[in-house]
């Protein structure tokens, strides 16, 4: 009988929607998932979210405000790990590694730059657990886009599912992983996910998101505005390709009412996915949707109108949709420890399969 080579990891994710931190436990050998553990989400308070949002779109290096925000962000992550452990009876001595993504504030891969803020050394020191951080940097340094970074985890989850399969993650930005019958992968950002919709709702002081898709359902799509949004050279460009959260703006819908703008931006998110279908090597048998966007009935309805294949939330495959991205970075942390690739030429455009991550040993190790 072969020895179990699995490690226990905690994955952490602070995504482009800026709603908070997801944390999740899993056990994996970096190839397959042996078991899933508990998970939780911790929301950011409004004041911190505003400070974090103000850091977007600029290089944080040498920026004192970004450094201060990074320390607060790290404190949130320390709290997330401690709560995940204490509230679920996890023995911290059984956790081998934490995968700490940090928060992306500046993503310009064509300039060789991707910046995620957060202090991995402090997280290791304050939790007493080894941390892997800076997952994307090595990929970008070797010619990759630095995103998407979850495809290898999607492949590990779906090894026994009928293919071709498309996994669509709708966070602030949306991305797709396409998996062939023989396990081949391609991946790229499709376009905006929730970010523009969230920014639009916030502009009207109507909260942080279109909760339940109610605003979009009440409005009408402005076809001229939608056509203007879709008239962007990004969409027909061949993959690999990736986006920064702020690569699109609200100028095309600025003249619309709250509900019509929400409807038009929702249609934009779904239409960008439909455009992506034409770039895939072959149509998928079905779409599995993860990320916060799957909770928005208006987005899901728009996808089902535009896509021929079945569109289902990730839970239909038995996956834990709210924890999936956090799990992915726990999985990638284990791969980093084992020297396995985190990205491939077909997922990020990196020149060859490339490992990465920076290890911060636990204090005393």
| 365 band by pLDDT with thresholds 50, 70 and 90 | very low
Say what the pLDDT of residue 15 is: 86
For residue 213, pLDDT beyond 80:
yes
| 65 band by pLDDT with thresholds 50, 70 and 90 | very high
| pLDDT single digits (tens) 306-316 | 999 999 999 99
| pLDDT single digits (tens) 233-287 | 999 999 999 999 889 999 999 999 999 999 999 999 999 999 999 999 999 999 9
Cα–Cα dist 250/202, whole Å: 12
Percent of the chain whose pLDDT exceeds 90 = 95
Closest CA to 196 of 113, 252, 145: 252
| pLDDT single digits (tens) 13-64 | 998 888 899 999 999 999 999 999 999 999 999 999 999 999 999 999 999 9
The mean pLDDT of 287-296, rounded to a whole number, is 96
- Is the peptide bond prior to 219 cis by the omega test (within 30 degrees of 0)? no
Closest CA to 328 of 158, 99, 131: 99
Say what the pLDDT of residue 159 is: 87
Say what the pLDDT of residue 3 is: 57
| pLDDT single digits (tens) 315-353 | 999 999 999 999 999 999 999 999 999 999 999 999 999
Per the CB < 8 A criterion, the answer to whether 212 and 296 are in contact is yes
Domains of the chain: residue spans and CATH: 7-144+326-360 (3.30.420.40), 151-317 (3.30.420.40)
Say what the pLDDT of residue 16 is: 82
- Give Cα 184 to chain centroid, integer Å: 21
DSSP letters for 334-358? HHHHTT--SB-HHHH--SS-B---E
Per the CB < 8 A criterion, the answer to whether 31 and 5 are in contact is no
For residue 79, pLDDT beyond 90:
yes
Write down the pTM of the prediction.
0.95
Say what the pLDDT of residue 4 is: 74
| 160 band by pLDDT with thresholds 50, 70 and 90 | confident
């Amino acid at each position: 009988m072969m020895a179990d080579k699995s490690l226990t990891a905690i994955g952490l994710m602070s995504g482009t929607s800026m709603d908070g931190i997801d944390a999740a436990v899993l056990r994996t050998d970096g190839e397959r998932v042996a078991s899933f553990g508990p998970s939780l989400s911790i929301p950011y308070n409004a004041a911190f979210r505003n400070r974090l949002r103000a850091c977007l779109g600029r290089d944080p290096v040498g920026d004192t405000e970004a450094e201060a925000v990074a320390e607060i962000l790290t404190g949130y992550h320390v709290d997330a790990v401690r709560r995940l452990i204490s509230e679920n009876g996890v023995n911290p001595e059984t956790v081998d590694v934490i995968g700490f993504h940090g928060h992306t504030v500046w993503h310009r891969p064509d300039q060789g730059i991707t910046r995620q803020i957060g202090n991995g050394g402090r997280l290791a020191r304050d939790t007493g657990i080894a941390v892997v951080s800076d997952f994307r940097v090595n990929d970008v340094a070797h010619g990759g886009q630095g995103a998407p970074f979850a495809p290898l985890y999607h492949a590990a989850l779906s090894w026994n599912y009928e293919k071709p399969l498309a996994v669509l993650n709708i966070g602030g930005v949306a991305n797709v992983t396409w998996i062939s019958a023989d396990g081949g992968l391609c991946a790229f950002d499709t376009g905006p996910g929730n970010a523009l919709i969230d920014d639009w709702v916030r502009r009207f002081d109507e909260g942080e998101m279109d909760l339940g898709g109610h605003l979009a359902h009440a409005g009408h799509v402005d076809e001229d505005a939608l056509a203007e949004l879709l008239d962007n050279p990004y969409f027909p460009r061949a993959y690999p390709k990736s986006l920064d959260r702020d690569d699109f703006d609200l100028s095309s819908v600025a003249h619309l009412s709250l509900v019509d703008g929400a409807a038009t931006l929702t249609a934009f998110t779904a239409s960008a996915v439909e455009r992506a279908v034409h770039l895939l090597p072959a149509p998928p048998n079905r779409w599995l949707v993860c990320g916060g966007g799957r909770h928005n009935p208006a987005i899901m309805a728009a996808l089902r109108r535009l896509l021929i294949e079945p569109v289902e939330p990730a839970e239909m495959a038995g996956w834990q949709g709210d924890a999936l991205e956090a799990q992915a970075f726990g999985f990638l942390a284990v791969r980093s420890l084992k020297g396995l690739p985190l990205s491939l030429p077909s997922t990020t455009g990196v020149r060859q399969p490339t490992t990465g991550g920076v290890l911060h040993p636990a204090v005393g190790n």
